[in-house]
Amino acid sequence: MRARPLGRTNVRVSTLGFGAAPIGNLHSAIDDRQAQLTLEAAWDVGVRYYDTAPHYGLGLSERRLGDALAHRPRGEFTISTKVGRLLEPHPAPTGSDLTTGGFAVPDTLIRRPDYSRDGVLRSLEDSLKRLRLDHVDIVYVHDPDDHLDAALGHALPTLVALRDQGVIGAVGVGANTVAPLLRVVAEADVDAVMVAGRWTLLDRTARPLLDACAERGVAVVAAAPFNSGLLSRTYPASDATFDYGPASESALRRARHLAEVSARHGTALPHAALRFPLRDPGVACVVAGFRTPEEVVSAARWAATDLTEEAWVDLDTAAARVAEVRSS
């Protein structure tokens, strides 16, 4: 699988990145063996970039990822984790994190927002222990929307200092919304932004962000290309999810129209969805979440095969039309 540079850094990422939230039991549980088989399948098809976070399964994702990569040559893979949420003992656990955090794990820990220098250093130290590593390549400030001043004033300068000391390879910010990322790109010394769900076949609202990143030499990592499920099937079903909640009738109609256009060109909606972000030269890679080996194998095949120019023209036209209807 092709590797690309992450902006102006020496860090390289595979075209397809492994999003490790599902192996942290996002929405429903999988066992350790399934997680390991899925990670093995990713390695076998050439995936060499793995993204995780303490938030994912209250550390379970990091532990499972660390176990899977422990026997791999450290110089052959790139790994990113995130800071901004400290894991601390839960004073009154209820038994499950599903309702609060969305992960099917015991809620023996809680997440406490902390974007301070000490919080960042402690979070990174804890992540390294769970990952069984002495360093990570990329560190993102995680979802700083409601803590943007603290992220800009404390978390990011701390990470920049670590990068300048050679402790980490690249500094980034990850979010599901465009506005905070635009401010970060304008005001901070970052190498990359991870934008989730806003640069997809269906939702292209990150266009101003991509333009701003191109002007400043900041790499874009496009995450959640399936919009958390809506674009992951050949024809979206009525129970499809969009941005981690039930898809609206409007979103379903738009996605089904794109599915029909894809089918007319002999391809499938998830293929078009996975390839779409990679069309922009500013996008270093696309990161998708996987919970089975079969999902990994399909995604690797899609990532390696582009659509025809005629298909992209029709899909772009269809996306523009549904956007016009939505805004009218």
82 vs 244: which has the higher pLDDT: 82
Per-residue burial over 106-142, b if 16 or more Cβ lie within 10 Å, else e, is ebebbbeebbbeebbeebbebbbebbebeebbbbbbb
Which whole number is the average pLDDT over 33-57?
A: 98
> Does the global pTM surpass 0.85?
yes
Note the pLDDT tens digit of each residue in 89-122: 999 999 999 999 999 999 999 999 999 999 999 9
Q: Is 299 exposed, middle or buried (0-12, 13-18, 19+ CB in 10 A)?
A: buried
Which whole number is the average pLDDT over 131-140?
A: 97
Paired tokens of 267: 């391809």
**Are 13 and 4 spatial neighbours (Cβ–Cβ below 8 Å)?**
yes
Question: Has residue 322 got a pLDDT over 60?
Answer: no
Note the pLDDT tens digit of each residue in 176-201: 999 999 999 999 999 999 999 999 99
- At which residue do the structure tokens 């959640």 appear? 224
Gyration radius (Cα) of the chain, Å: 19
Which whole number is the average pLDDT over 60-69?
A: 98
Question: Has residue 328 got a pLDDT over 50?
Answer: no
Q: How many CA atoms lie within 13 A of 107 on its CB side?
A: 16
115 part of the active site: no
Query: Please, which pLDDT band fits residue 323 given cuts at 50, 70 and 90?
Result: low
**Are 176 and 146 spatial neighbours (Cβ–Cβ below 8 Å)?**
no
Q: Are strands 170-175 and 283-289 parallel, antiparallel or unpaired?
A: unpaired
Looking at residue 205, what DSSP letter applies?
T
Alpha helices, H only, the chain: 32-44, 60-69, 98-101, 117-131, 148-150, 156-164, 178-187, 207-216, 249-264, 269-275, 293-304, 309-327
At 327 the pLDDT is: 40
What is the CA angle 61-67-68, rounded to 5? 90
Q: Is 106 left (phi over 0), alpha (psi -120 to 50) or beta?
A: beta
**Are 210 and 216 spatial neighbours (Cβ–Cβ below 8 Å)?**
no
Q: Is 293 left (phi over 0), alpha (psi -120 to 50) or beta?
A: alpha
Which whole number is the average pLDDT over 137-146?
A: 97
- At which residue do the structure tokens 């429903």 appear? 28
Give the whole-number percent of the chain exceeding pLDDT 70.
Answer: 98
Distance between CA atoms of residues 18 and 285, nearest Å: 10
At 138 the pLDDT is: 98
Question: Has residue 325 got a pLDDT over 70?
Answer: no
Q: Is 187 exposed, middle or buried (0-12, 13-18, 19+ CB in 10 A)?
A: exposed
Query: Which amino acid, residue 112?
Result: R
Q: Is 211 left (phi over 0), alpha (psi -120 to 50) or beta?
A: alpha
Note the pLDDT tens digit of each residue in 187-236: 999 999 999 999 999 999 999 999 999 999 999 999 999 998 999 999 99
Nearest to 18 by CA among 295, 302, 307: 295
Q: Which of 49, 50, 56, 115 is catalytic?
A: 56
